[in-house]
Every structure is written in structure tokens, then in C-alpha cells.
């Protein structure tokens, strides 16, 4: 963990630079002094083709990020990492936000039950 899903409306596909955003998200998560193990980070994007924003009368756009993590991190460190991550997202879309209607949001889900997982990617990062 963490797993990050970026949902975005298809009307910003060209200008959204989504692959670049995914790379920025991973980099942001890695810059937290080991808070998130590198081998557990999964970031993906889902382009939405069917959606209605607000009353549906405009070509509104949105990006919603779901950030899922396992438990056990201090509230202080987690809040700081989430604040930093959302700032990365806002900064990434700053120019687009200035020229069109765009809603940005991020939801954080911390698992309260153990997650079922098996991952040998971690071995690559052990020193």
C-alpha cells in the first residue's frame, strides 16, 4: 500500500497530462521518509466517458483521486503526506483550472481490517 486511483473526465484527456500526474503522485509518496514502502505503491488512472457534472449544462470536468492505505501511520505524518499529495494534484492542474470549470478532489481511505496481499516487488528494494 498505498494504492492511488485517479478518475478523470475524458474532456481533459489532452490537456490533463495524466501519465505525468501519476509520476508526480508516486514521487510525492516516495518523499515521505519511508512512510510508504516503494514496492507497495500502485497508481493508476481511469478515464471516464459517461458522467454528468452539476446540472449537465456545461462541459465541466473533474478529477477525483482515491488514496487507499493500510493502517498504522501516525495522524500527523499521514496528514502531512496527504496535504502534500493534494498540493501536487492542485499544482499539476493549475493552468487548466484557470481556463475551464474543473473540480479536484481527493478521498483518503485507511483500512481498519487487515488487507489480503502478496507482493514480491518489495524484495527489489531491500538493501
Q: Has 37 been annotated as catalytic?
A: no
* Torsion of the alpha carbons at 23, 70, 74 and 36, rounded to the nearest 10: -30
Identified catalytic residue from 2, 9, 28, 93: 2
Query: Up-side HSE of residue 102: CA atoms within 13 Å toward CB?
Result: 22
- How far apart CA 11 and CA 47 sit, in angstroms, is 9
Active-site positions? 2
Amino acid at each position: 500500500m498505498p494504492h492511488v486511483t485517479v478518475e478523470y473526465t475524458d474532456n481533459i484527456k489532452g490537456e490533463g497530462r495524466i501519465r505525468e500526474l501519476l509520476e508526480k503522485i508516486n514521487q510525492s509518496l516516495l518523499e515521505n521518509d519511508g512512510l510508504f514502502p516503494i514496492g507497495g505503491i500502485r497508481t493508476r488512472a481511469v478515464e471516464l466517458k459517461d458522467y454528468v457534472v452539476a446540472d449537465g449544462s456545461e462541459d465541466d470536468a473533474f478529477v477525483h483521486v482515491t488514496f487507499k492505505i493500510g493502517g498504522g501511520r501516525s495522524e500527523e505524518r499521514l496528514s502531512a503526506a496527504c496535504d502534500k499529495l493534494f498540493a501536487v494534484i492542485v499544482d499539476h492542474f493549475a493552468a487548466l483550472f484557470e481556463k475551464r470549470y474543473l473540480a479536484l478532489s481527493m478521498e483518503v481511505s485507511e483500512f481498519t481490517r487487515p488487507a489480503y496481499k502478496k507482493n514480491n516487488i518489495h524484495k527489489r528494494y531491500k538493501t
